Amino acid sequence: MTPKPKGIAARAGHWSARHRKTAIFGWLAAIVIIFMVGQSLGQKTPTQSQSLNGDSRKAMTIVDDAGFPEKSGEMVLVQSKSGKASDPAFKAAVADVTKTVSAQKVVTNVVKPQISKDKHSALVQFDLKGDPETADERVGPVLDATAAVAKRHQALDIEQYGDASFNKAIAEKSAEEESRGMMLTLISTLVILFLVFGALVAATVPLLLAVTAVFGTGGLVAIASQLMPIDDVAQAAIFLIGLAVGVDYSLFYIRRQREERAKGHSTLDAIDIAAATSGRAVLLSGLTVMAAMGGMLLTDNSTFMSMGVSTILVVAVAVIGSLTVLPAVVAGLGDKLDKGRLPFLGRRQSQARDSRL
């Protein structure tokens, strides 16, 4: 006899499996809306003083309250191993640098070029207008202008450096590495799930659910940051933890549903059983993780608090998705869940199920 749905997880799975379109399209619509709202608001990050603790935070808070003028300084180094500052080509390059950077709208306080004692180097210093915290977002045109000067004077070494250009380079490199890492993670996860389930469709479902949970949580974090600034570390935590728990929870659910189908239960009955057992385990597991991560909110450190908030939100979204949209998708696919079988592994799994029966 199929047990009657009792408890939140069982009732959610029972309803979703019988209202598939509402559950699936409702989930997708909610994810898209939350993501777009989050993108429109933008994520607010903590100030430098909020990122510190103890005496360091007190000192930085005092500095901020004192209202000392903050500047984002940049410099362009013109250097030649053979030529000297008195050479016409060297003078022309320094003059070109000074004129070019001075023409940029975001540049101010251009200082007269300083010549080194050995006469082989010249330094052109200047500041960027606006908030130093966001200077890396405005330094791009200046870097492009400096690169153009370097192309016009290829006999000399001309390079720009400063807080803004450094932060911009770090951010771009980090984004590139994160993108590559995410792609490798997704591919390797899909391969592992393919080997576990022995079917491509069954392997794809948990991955897609995890990805939608990550996107939705990204929007939620941006919304939450309007009340409490959240560090950029939250994005990495959302992806890694969201992918882990999303796949993990789906794995429990789908595996149990497939086992019940192998025992002869109908698709809907198998989902009801999975919802009442694995679904309940997913719910309790998610609540436990969320309660544990709530302790990070007591640290009064923006980095740890950001990780705590992002983890709680992504686990909550993954749990909701596992209890609602996952049963709907599994019910909609039915036996098509086993499409795209891996021949050898799929045959071995079928033999294992037959032996249990």
Q: Residue type at 198?
A: G
Q: Are residues 301 and 237 in contact, defined by beta-carbon separation less than 8 angstroms?
A: no
Task: Output DSSP code: residue 160.
Answer: E
- HSE (side-chain half, CA atoms, 13 Å) at 310: 28
What per-residue confidence (pLDDT) applies to 64? 67
Q: What is the mean pLDDT of residues 172-194?
A: 84
Nearest Cα neighbor of 331 from 262, 246, 274 is 274
**Residue with the larger pLDDT of the pair 341 and 271:** 271
Higher pLDDT, residue 199 or 142: 142
* pLDDT average, residue stretch 261-265: 86
All domains in the chain, ordered by first residue:
8-54+168-356 (1.20.1640.10), 70-162 (3.30.70.360)
Strand-pairing partners, residue 141, are none
pLDDT for residue 104: 93
Residue 334: its pLDDT value, please?
Answer: 83
Whether 108 contacts 135, CB under 8 Å: no
Q: Give the CA count within 13 Å in the CB-facing half-sphere of 253.
A: 40
Average pLDDT score over residue span 180-188: 85
Q: Indicate the pLDDT class of residue 344, thresholds 50, 70 and 90.
A: low
Q: What is the mean pLDDT of residues 126-130?
A: 91
Q: Is the predicted pLDDT of residue 353 greater than 50, yes or no?
A: no
What are the angstrom distances between the C-alpha of 105 and each of 65, 108, 111, 125, 169?
Answer: 29, 8, 16, 16, 21
Polymer length of the chain: 357
Q: Does residue 193 surpass a pLDDT of 90?
A: no
Provide the 3-class DSSP secondary structure of residue 76.
Answer: strand
Token pair belonging to 203: 């392997």
**Tell me, what's the pLDDT at 21?**
92
Whole-number pLDDT of residue 56: 72
> What is the per-residue pLDDT across 18-38, written as a single tens digit (0 to 9) for each?
999 999 999 999 999 999 999
pLDDT of 228: 86
Residue-wise pLDDT tens digits, 34-54: 999 998 988 888 766 666 666
The mean pLDDT of the chain is: 86
Q: Is the pLDDT reported for residue 241 higher than 70? A: yes
How large a percentage of the chain has pLDDT more than 70? 89
CB 5 within 8 A of CB 14: yes
Integer Cα distance of 266 and 230 in angstroms: 46
The CA distance from 341 to 343, in Å, is: 6
Q: What is the mean pLDDT of residues 331-350?
A: 69
Q: How many CA atoms lie within 13 A of 149 on its CB side?
A: 30
